[in-house]
Amino acid sequence: SSMSRKRNPYDNAMMESFYKTLKRELINDAHFETRAEATQEIFKYIETYYNTKRMHSGLDYKSPKDFEKYNS
User: In whole angstroms, what is the distance from residue 12 CA to residue 68 CA?
Assistant: 22
Print the domain residue range for 45.
Answer: 13-70
Q: What is the mean pLDDT of residues 42-60?
A: 90
Q: Is residue 3 part of a domain?
A: no
Q: Is residue 47 part of a domain?
A: yes
Global pTM value: 0.69
Quick: pLDDT tens for 16-47.
Answer: 888 999 999 999 989 999 999 999 999 999 99
Q: What is the mean pLDDT of residues 2-13?
A: 66
Q: Into how many domains does the chain fold? A: 1
Q: Is residue 50 part of a domain?
A: yes
* Residue 14 vs residues 1, 36, 38, 50, 66: alpha-carbon distances, Å: 14, 26, 22, 14, 19
Q: Is residue 26 part of a domain?
A: yes
In this prediction, residue 2 carries a pLDDT of: 54
Q: Is residue 6 part of a domain?
A: no
